[in-house]
Amino acid sequence: MSPLILNLLILCSTSLFHVISSTSTDIHDLLPEYGFPKGLIPNNAISYTISTDGFFTIQLDSPCYVHFSDQYLVYFHTRLTGKLSYGSVTRVSGIQAQILFLWPSVTGIKVHKDSGMLEFFAGALSQKLPAEEFVNVPGCSPKACQGGSTATNLVDRV
């Protein structure tokens, strides 16, 4: 094999490996590069991988709940997957949002830059929320307390 071809193979494989298994950069720092605010993923993300075609896996250290804007309760599994492109996440798995007494899976997220909104999809349903509500990286909890800290509202999915 010629040295030129060998060097190109090494360069390509090194670049591909960096893109696919980049765990040194925090996922929260990557999200703005795709037009999303940092606060879409809770603070317990420990690693992620993303392929050159946008398919990703995010590993959390434990499943958890997050309250967004004090009215939306979201459950994150330990493994989140999907396909990320600028302004859009599709094929999402590992995230569920509470709607009344149901827990449908979030299947996609779209950025609407012109209106400053994020649109969340759960099957045929969608909900738009202001992107500014996702600026800060949220903390997460192993249990979900709705509407504050009353023990009677405790929901335990773990």
For the chain, the structural domain boundaries read: 3-155
**Residues β-bridged to residue 88:** 85, 110
Say what the pTM is: 0.75
DSSP symbol at 83: E
Give residue 38's identity as a one-letter amino acid code: K
pLDDT one digit per residue (tens) for the chain, 158 residues: 444 343 434 444 433 433 444 444 789 999 999 999 999 999 999 999 999 999 999 999 999 999 887 788 999 999 999 999 999 999 999 999 998 888 999 999 999 999 999 999 998 889 999 999 999 999 988 877 654 433 323 334 43
Q: Which CATH number does the domain 3-155 belong to among 1.10.3470, 2.160.10, 3.40.462, 2.30.240?
A: 2.30.240
Residue 19 in 3-state DSSP? helix
